[in-house]
Structure 1
Amino acid sequence: MYKFYLFSYGTLMDVKIQKILFEQEIAMVDALLEDYKLYADTDGYFYVKKYVGNVIHGKILELTKEQMWIADQWEDIPMYLRKKVSIKLKNGENRKAFIYEKNNVQSEIAVNYDSLSNLPIEEVIKEAQKIKEIIRLRIKDKSFVYGDI
């Protein structure tokens, strides 16, 4: 089975969020995204932009095609767009992985580095539960397409 690699720098690293969205804990590996910087938007969620010389610490998630589609729903494409980049693993190996870049930034605010977003985790969990219900309805009604993953 083909696997997709997704570099997460925010809420998808949270096991509670993973269990809601994917109905399981996802295998993760420590990784670095080089030449990018972490920002926060007024909606409370993080985003990244190119910034030479900077490094973002995150995790690579190993996902199936269906899980990648679920991640796309969570990241609210086209608000965030998927891009394939080179990620450095903890062991020094480079791997191609997807990242999500925010498409329409409202306004940059300070990043809360002690959290996976600038929102309280309870709010993020409620949002994940809401998105999961939307996903269930789309699957039930067959009103979804995995698209060009």
Structure 2
Amino acid sequence: MKKTQLFVYGTIADPEFFECLLKRKPIYKAGRMPNFSLFVNPESGYLFVKPDQGSTVSGKLVEVNEEELKILDLWEDVPFYERETVLIEFDSALENAFVYTQNDANGISSEVGTTISRKSILDEIRSFRNWIDDLLLNA
């Protein structure tokens, strides 16, 4: 099955959340996404990125397959979040990777905004994963 790189900076960048979502341990590489900034959605408390010339978002690169990407698209509520290809810097190299963005959203800088609690995220992920497993079982 074809694999692709995904740049993660929030929920999916947390190994426990990743494993709960995709039922495997992630293998991350540190990366940076130039010309984007990290924000908090004031209504949901979730992080998002959008273009911001001169800024950089630190995160991680992780390899995912097509089936996992479909699950992540559902989790990220595409098109609420948009999945796009961007250039990521890592280990003195550049690589194209998918990333989930909200280019037109308004938010609060991640440096001052309040994010959703870890327990709430885990509860949401477990409910979501149960829903996915039920769909796959009944397909």
Name the amino acid aligned to 2:48: Y
Change (3 A) 1:37 1:104: closer
Q: Which runs of 5+ in 1 are unaligned?
A: 143-149
Cα distance in 1, alignment partners of residues 96 and 109 from structure 2: 29
Runs of 4+ in 1 over 4 A off after TM superposition: none
Q: Which runs of 5+ in 2 are unaligned?
A: none
TM-score under structure 1 length normalisation = 0.85
Offset from partner CA, 1:1-44 (integer Å, 9 cap, x none): 42111100101011111121111111110000000011111210
Equivalent in the alignment of 2:110: 111
- 2:7·2:97 contact (CA, 8 Å) conserved in 1? yes
Equivalent in the alignment of 1:132: 129
Any idea what SS the aligned residue of 2:77 has?
A: coil
Equivalent in the alignment of 1:146: none
**% of aligned pairs identical?**
26
CA offset at residue 112 of structure 1?
5.0
Change (3 A) 1:137 1:103: farther
**Superposition RMSD on alpha carbons, in Å?**
1.7
**How many residues get paired?**
137
Any idea what SS the aligned residue of 2:25 has?
A: coil
TM-score under structure 2 length normalisation = 0.90
- 1:39·1:109 contact (CA, 8 Å) conserved in 2? yes
